[in-house]
Structure 1
């Protein structure tokens, strides 16, 4: 893989996950600073996340039929930037919800196509993919730490300025990426995907992933506010989240080797069992800085290991001209439905922080159920289509 290609792909991942490093920890802080209650925050985040149900599939159809992932990526990045700018002008519940929903709708167009474009460019090498993808984790860390300090110093309204700058950089980075050359047949022909979706293994994979993302609800929605309530210093949220992402980077570096040793299905199962333990410890023992440190290191499994293994599973399961649709269905259902349900339920259970332990215990149970479901998955060559 040439160095210029590596730099171009890595920079897009860096800026894409930089906005995630701002939004995941600090969007709830931004909304809290604007006077929204925990239930309203849960509802807004649920709607924000639910756009992943529709967005990826709509964009994937265009990308699969045209074979031009890059055009979709650039258009998505531009529209994302424009929609995010609406946050400069809105304050009340429904306008804020609309602005965030439209931002998310176009933002979801980017990652599935970027994943497929990257894997095509690097000839599906797990080793190179892991190295490109870890720059996304680096971007997340950098912005989580910087954003935490800036929001603490200048107030929650700084959130909008930081996000807008990041999204401009993301759009500019896509202008330097090149569309990999594909044969004409690969660009225009698509194949029937329903049989792949109705295999027992994929259905179990889908349900387990949905449950895992639902279990992230309390963490994604309220972790920064949770640490504030536990009287951690203002920089703690960005620091602990960054520790988790550093652990995630370590997993990405060795993910290719782990995949060769254990296979995707075993890695998915292991990551979900560890996630269940993580959420229980977070809800019951987060008052201890050392236990919280150990818990955050588990992010290597609950996100990094799961994500790497899931991408490899999807690459193995779907044909080349089904990849965009497969990625879109996965992200739309697993991250969209699962994430929206998790955010909404977390908002109901949180009760201004009083229900924090209850919310994380719910997350632990949901992740454990998902882990059990993964035990019903089978390898690709033994999958049978439901009749």
Structure 2
């Protein structure tokens, strides 16, 4: 009999395996279909912008029906079916529509999975981190494997790899169990106003959005960035592997970290270290040793930030608000911020000629996020 810990870890593994394929190599696939950097940026912005709608759309049904796990299973099924369309379509708008539909279903799963996991593990930072690290392992497995396969077999293998991983994700959702037995309830939208309008939440939200904007060049063009700087094809998987190893280590140590440092200080550290990361990548990316160092910073710019954000949301919102709070966070921070970042990176990249200025702009954006986060009320955050 599989434990709930194993079932949830399996779901995270396959969910983030999809991201391990899409984040570095979707741009490579689109370039292989003949699109330039501006068109790639636009398509990635459309792909990311569905996070604005998808999480809230699925959160509504989860709140309305009380059948959170069913929502996760339906979303995974529709994501798998829609991705299959990439085998049959070509051209800007057909691909844009297929990617948008796929992302609408796939991204809508994550807030529900996060809430299900946090409740199942009794909101324990230690157990959540141990489950979440399996997502990091899924990410690294697909990033490394996909880099080798696509380099040897061509960019079109992206679609086949994606379908295989999505079948794995779909099967993992069928194994999950929800033991809470929560009854359907009417969404309590009025009660969200006070926490949403608080100074701390607004600052947290804006800073997080800017951080995701700064990730635009990394999420959109990292594989092309490595190629254009003359590094070997296997370097993409290697460098992503380094970032995910430190990410996994951070998730494992998250419980100890949160005992020693406050959410306030961890958020600020994440923003400022990310600014340094993008600056180094923009100015000295031709040096492999320095690129390895920038990937080590991923421990702060992603793992620490994500863990601290989950703790902030759990602390800031009541239990009956968690679905909608997670959906708002994913929609606004990752959806709006990611879409703006992808579109801006596409405009600045100039088919590789704008590599340096794009990363400098990203560094300035992350620095601004850090400055904004300094204005948060530390005492109120930890009360």
**Shorter-normalised TM-score: what interval?**
over 0.9
Contact 2:111/2:323 (<8 A) preserved: yes
Which residue in 2 is equivalent to 1:307?
306
Inter-partner Cα distance in structure 1 for 2:299 and 2:179: 31
CA distance in 2, matches of 1:124, 1:67: 19
Residue aligning to 2:279: 280
Question: 1:45-194 residue pairs with structure 2 within 5 A?
Answer: 45-182=44-181, 184=183, 187-188=184-185, 190-191=187-188, 192-194=191-193
After TM superposition, the structure 1 stretch with the greater mean CA deviation from structure 2, 283-292 or 251-260, is 251-260
| Post-superposition CA distance 1:93-128 (Å, at most 9, x none) | 100111001000011111100000001111001000
Q: Give the distance between the partners of 1:252 and 1:258, measured in 2 at CA.
A: 9
Q: Please name the residue that 2:218 is paired with.
A: 219
- 1:262, distance to aligned residue in structure 2 (A): 1.6
Contact 2:264–2:381 (CA under 8 A) maintained in structure 1: no
Q: Which residue of 2 is the match for residue 330 of structure 1?
A: 329
Please say if residues 217 and 358 of structure 2, whose CA atoms lie closer than 8 Å, have aligned partners that are also in contact: yes
Q: Residues of 1 paired with 2:70 and 2:313: CA distance?
A: 23
C-alpha distance in 1, partners of 2:365/2:332? 16
Per-residue CA deviation, residues 127-165 of structure 1 (Å, 9 max, x unaligned), is 000000000000000100000010011100000000001
User: Does the CA contact (< 8 Å) of 1:56 and 1:112 recur in 2?
Assistant: yes
Structure-2 residue corresponding to 1:25? 24
| Matching residue of 1:246 | 245
Unaligned segments of structure 1, at least 5 residues: none
Stretch of structure 1 that moved more, 52-61 or 20-29? 52-61
> How much does 1:3 deviate?
6.4
Post-superposition CA distance 1:334-364 (Å, at most 9, x none): 0000000000000000001000000000000
Cα offset for 1:305? 0.5
Instruction: State whether residues 66 and 182 of structure 2, in contact with CA within 8 Å, keep that contact through their aligned partners in structure 1.
Output: no
Say if 2:18 and 2:165, in contact at 8 Å, map to a contact too: yes
- TM-score, scaled to structure 2: 0.97
Structure 2 residues without counterparts, runs of 5 or longer: none
Cα distance in 1, alignment partners of residues 58 and 280 from structure 2: 39
Using the alignment, how far apart are the partners of 2:341 and 2:316 within structure 1? 27
Deviation, 1:182, is 4.2
Distance 1:324 1:167 in 2: 24
Alignment check: 8 A CA contact 2:12 2:131 kept: yes
Distance in 2 (CA, whole Å) between partners of 1:120 and 1:190 is 18
The answer to whether residue 242 in structure 2 is matched with residue 271 in structure 1 is no
Deviation of 1:263 after TM superposition, in Å, equals 2.0
Q: CA deviation at 1:67?
A: 2.5
Cα-to-partner distance string for 1:154-184 (whole Å, 9 max, x where unaligned): 1000000000010011011011110122454
The count of residues paired between Structure 1 and Structure 2 equals 381
Q: Describe the SS at the equivalent of 2:270.
A: helix
Q: Post-superposition shift, 1:382?
A: 6.8
Deviations 1:175-220 (A, max 9, x none): 1110122454xx4254321111100000000000000000000111
SS of residue matched to 2:53: helix
Taking the aligned partners of 1:251 and 1:241, their CA distance within structure 2 comes to: 15
| Distance across 1 between alignment mates of 2:340 and 2:241 | 25
